[in-house]
Amino acid sequence: MTTMAKVLVAPGDTLEADCTVLALDHAGLSATETPARDVDVVVLFSGPDTESARMRELCDGRPMLLVSPEVDAAAVRLAERVGAAGLLAWGASTADMVAAIDRLNRGERGLPSAAAAAEDPLSSLTDRELEIVRLLGAGATNEAIARALGISYHTVRTHVGHVLAKLGVSHRYAVVALAHRSDRLARAGDPAGSPP
């Protein structure tokens, strides 16, 4: 059962924060970008200027959910340094974020290990799905992917849906970000983002 947490989204006045506040409000949580004492959980979007002391001060002892471009070893180390109790990737769905906030609000804590976060994100994909990811990384539309692979548009949509589900992301841009850090595409001699 989901608890009705009050959530502070920081840093405020950014596109990410604005969208997150709207999504969380739509999901039934009370979200704000204005620092307040009565919030239960802080959702922090990490950036190059994420500072440990400032983040701890902002949280004031409340649990922090760090949202990072990727969930990798560097993100885990940053989460540990700023005292975050949870970690999500920017591409996570609203449902995943609500579930993470709910866990933190109930007192559950948990960061992935740096070793687990360092695993290749594309290791669970089939060869055909990797072809789809390569083309997505090159900016191809579903129609262009269908032409390049000689398959139907509907088959491409199905493959893209499977890729999103396996990687646990909600949009194709997150797939491209994951592809760019994948060892599997590089080992295949075809770096992410280059056409096959």
6-117 CATH fold: Rossmann fold (3.40.50)
What ranges do the domains of the chain cover? 6-117, 127-187
Q: How far apart are CA 158 and CA 93, in angstroms?
A: 19
10-residue averages of pLDDT along the chain (196 residues): 72 78 86 79 73 66 83 79 83 82 86 60 79 86 94 93 82 75 54 41
The pLDDT tens digits of the residues spanning 119-153 come to 666 777 788 888 898 888 888 899 999 999 999 99
127-187 CATH fold: Arc Repressor Mutant, subunit A (1.10.10)
Give the CA-trace dihedral at 113, 116, 120, 123, to 10 degrees.
-150
- Specify the pLDDT at position 156: 93
CATH topology agreement for domains 6-117 and 127-187 = no
Q: Quick check: pTM over 0.85? A: no
Q: How far apart are CA 77 and CA 84, in angstroms?
A: 10
- Specify the pLDDT at position 189: 45
- Specify the pLDDT at position 1: 44
Q: How far apart are CA 27 and CA 166, in angstroms?
A: 24
- Specify the pLDDT at position 195: 41
Q: How far apart are CA 154 and CA 159, in angstroms?
A: 9
State the Cα angle at 92 between 68 and 56, rounded to 5°. Answer: 35
The pLDDT tens digits of the residues spanning 34-53 come to 777 788 888 888 765 556 56
